[in-house]
Amino acid sequence: MSAAAPAAAALRVCVAGASGRMGQMLVEALRDSGDCVLSGALDVAGSRAIGQDAAGFAGQPSGVTITADLAQGLADSQFLIDFTRPEGTLAHLRECAQRGVAVVIGTTGFSDAQKAEIAEIAKQIPVMLAPNMSVGVNVTLKLLEMAAKALSTGYDIEIVEAHHRHKVDAPSGTALKMGEVIADALGRDLKDCAVYAREGVTGERDPSSIGFATVRGGDIVGDHTVLFAGTGERIEITHKSSSRVTYAQGSLRAVRFLAGKPAGLYDMFDVLGLKP
């Protein structure tokens, strides 16, 4: 069943993982948007949501039925927003490349090989890839870049993140992005200086390392703190999410940014104009 024809200027957006927590938040954000419209809804085969109205959970039917058929879900869409799993996202991305559908990716946990495939596909279609769509988080990343350059010597850097009990990857994609931004600002490679676990007699801390600590529990949406620990002082830069609404709104902002853009791989710094 297809949605009613949207206004001519509306941006037609398909949502992957439409029955999940983030998917439902995106469906609601699209419903409340004045310039975007839900045009397709995808979920995995076997999901109990298949065949249901994508906005049925909110009691306001959208006319868009959730399907596992990529061709059906993308048929009327200009954009796909994907917050699923790496393997599913890549399958969706390949189909979007064939159809000329631009993609906003909020999925995390990609391997280096998978990131390379995304970059290759982005030569065919516009792709916006970011581990966190929150405007606030991305402004925080910019602040971390500035802080790392100013605190490049004499400060130990530790990143602590906390998420809900259902999150399957660790550290979070946002924490890793924070580490990458800091390492780049310091002229280092995160692969060479990251420390992800400490146990037993570890010896003194390597001053060039960037440490990570992970907390999982309850319904924590997402907390991230970067600690710059010096002699006689500590600087902490923290971002806390209380709702996934910020991720949904950031995703729609990315959709608007991609409208009319040429093929290429973009990030939220591009969307927010934070690049030099």
> How do residues 254-273 score in pLDDT, each as one tens digit?
999 999 999 999 999 999 99
- Please, which residues bridge with residue 162 across strands? 215, 223
Measured distance CA(90)–CA(274) in Å, rounded: 27
Measured distance CA(61)–CA(188) in Å, rounded: 51
| SS3 at position 78 | coil
Average pLDDT over residues 43-63: 94
Measured distance CA(270)–CA(276) in Å, rounded: 10
Catalytically annotated residues? 163, 167
Residue 205 reports pLDDT greater than 60: yes
Angle between helices 112-121 and 86-99 (to 10 degrees): 10
| Residue 199, Cβ density class (10 Å: 0-12 exposed, 13-18 middle, ≥19 buried) | exposed
Q: How far apart are the first and last CA of the chain?
A: 45
pLDDT class for 4, splitting at 50, 70, 90?
very low
Which one-letter DSSP state was computed for residue 56? Answer: G
Measured distance CA(121)–CA(74) in Å, rounded: 17
pLDDT class for 9, splitting at 50, 70, 90?
confident
> How do residues 71-114 score in pLDDT, each as one tens digit?
999 999 999 999 999 999 999 999 999 999 999 999 988 999 99
How many alpha carbons lie under 13 Å from residue 84 in its C-beta half-sphere? Answer: 22
Measured distance CA(249)–CA(227) in Å, rounded: 28
The whole-number pLDDT of residue 209 equals: 98
Average pLDDT over residues 147-176: 96
What is the set of domains in the chain, with CATH numbers? 11-129+244-272 (3.40.50.720), 135-241 (3.30.360.10)
Which one-letter DSSP state was computed for residue 135? Answer: H
Average pLDDT over residues 56-66: 93
Count CB-CB contacts under 10 A for residue 175: 25
Q: Are strands 79-82 and 11-16 parallel, antiparallel or unpaired?
A: parallel
